Amino acid sequence: MSELQPVDVVGIGNALVDVLSHEEDDFLDRIGVVKGGMALIDEERAAAIYDLMGPAVEISGGSVANTMVGLVSFGGSARFLSRIRDDQLGLVFAHDLRAAGVEFDVPPATDGPASGCCLIVVTPDAERTLNTFLGASAHFGPDDVDPASIAAAQVLYLEGYLFDTSEAQAAFRAAAALANDSGTLVAVSLSDGFCVERHRDAFTALIEDHVDLLFANSEEITSLYEVDDFDEAAARVRHCGTTAALTRGAAGSLIVTESDSIAVPAVAVERVVDTTGAGDLYAAGFLYGFTHDLPLGVCGQLGSIAAGEVISHIGARPMVSLRDLAADILD
């Protein structure tokens, strides 16, 4: 275990290549999905939706993978655990992650489902709607959780999306328990309001038992507590025993601890092009600050800077150095 390079954060999440096209609003009705949400789809439906989509761009994604890339862009260090197939999209995913400086040593599977992809429809309001074919990612299980990788990190970061398969949910719990045992802090993103709805009790139990740092947007946190109002959800999260970073789009974020509430403004963006990855990159900035012992308010500021960068262009990974963007704060 001691041979592994220590890292700031080890992430566990889905390995997905994003397939993005621009469509009008009525396209969402035609394929029967809710704007801004994430729907899990099988291979057949993926083919059917893809057929209807306009010309697309392929660019590596996956929520926690995006966060790991952002963390490295700030100057941090990260490792990623997931499952890919030995196909062209798997190769693309692995290449882009390693080329960005994230440790990713998992050998591709030589059989089973194809590498996963996420069909992303970007509407004229820059909102993104996700249709995810998990593919190989769906088979991430407890055996894929490498204890040495967990122990070698300050923080384990898990995506709520993983809760959608029972195998991955088991892996999620195994990883969190290993982290607790080895003194690695556990951070979780709720990922999606519908995902929270599907697995509310499991999420609540996990947060109480294992989680030190919780990321959620307003839709997710109100869904978790089944309340209508953000302020009510924020009051509830204060007493759940974790630090929570709650994002609210253009309204910035609210960081809640048992004793404190810190409001952090969003970074103004000239033109919002594609909100894909906004939450992932907020988490990247926050986790960089958190693992470098910066005050929580500064963690939130770094999150705002990273989110502001990623929504100003197509794709969910930064196109410039986040370290440079945050030079005023970090250098």
Residues within the interface to a copy of itself (CB under 8 A): 21, 50-51, 53-60, 69, 87-89, 92, 95-96, 99-100, 114, 315, 317
Least distance (Å) from a copy of itself to the CB of residue 277?
13
Residue closer to a copy of itself by CB (options 35, 95) is: 95
Distance in Å, CB of 300 to a copy of itself, minimum:
26
| Least spacing, CB of residue 58 vs a copy of itself, in Å | 4
Smaller CB separation from a copy of itself, 320 or 329? 320
Using the minimum distance from each CB to a copy of itself, give the nearer residue, 94 or 254. 94
Distance CA 226, CA 193 (A): 11
Which of 106, 91, 123 is CA-nearest to residue 17? 91
Helices (H), 185-277: 193-198, 200-210, 218-225, 230-237
CB of 306 to a copy of itself, least distance (A): 16
Q: Of 93 and 203, which CB lies nearer to a copy of itself in the complex structure?
A: 93
**Beta carbon nearer to a copy of itself, 94 or 302:** 94
Give the integer Cα–Cα distance in Å for 184 and 172: 14
Radius of gyration for the alpha carbons in the chain, expressed in angstroms and rounded? 18
Dihedral angle sign, alpha carbons of residues 206, 230, 39, 278: negative
Nearest-approach distance from CB 99 to a copy of itself, in angstroms:
5
Residue 248 CA to its chain's centroid (Å)? 16
Give Cα 171 to chain centroid, integer Å.
Answer: 17
- Nearest-angstrom CA–CA distance, 222 and 306: 24
Chain position carrying tokens 């407890």 = 142
CB of 220 closer than 8 Å to CB of 246: no
Instruction: Between 6 and 54, name the residue whose CB sits nearer to a copy of itself.
Output: 54
Least distance in Å: CB of 137 to a copy of itself? 16
Length of the chain: 331
Dump the DSSP string for 112-159.
SSPPEEEEEEEPTTS-EEEEEE-GGGGG--GGG--HHHHHTEEEEEEE
CB of 67 to a copy of itself, least distance (A): 15
Q: How far is the CB of 54 from a copy of itself (least distance, A)?
A: 5
Which of 54/295 has CB closer to a copy of itself? 54
Q: Are 117 and 137 in contact (CB under 8 A)?
A: no
Beta carbon nearer to a copy of itself, 66 or 223: 66
Task: Note the Cα 198 to chain centre separation in Å.
Answer: 18
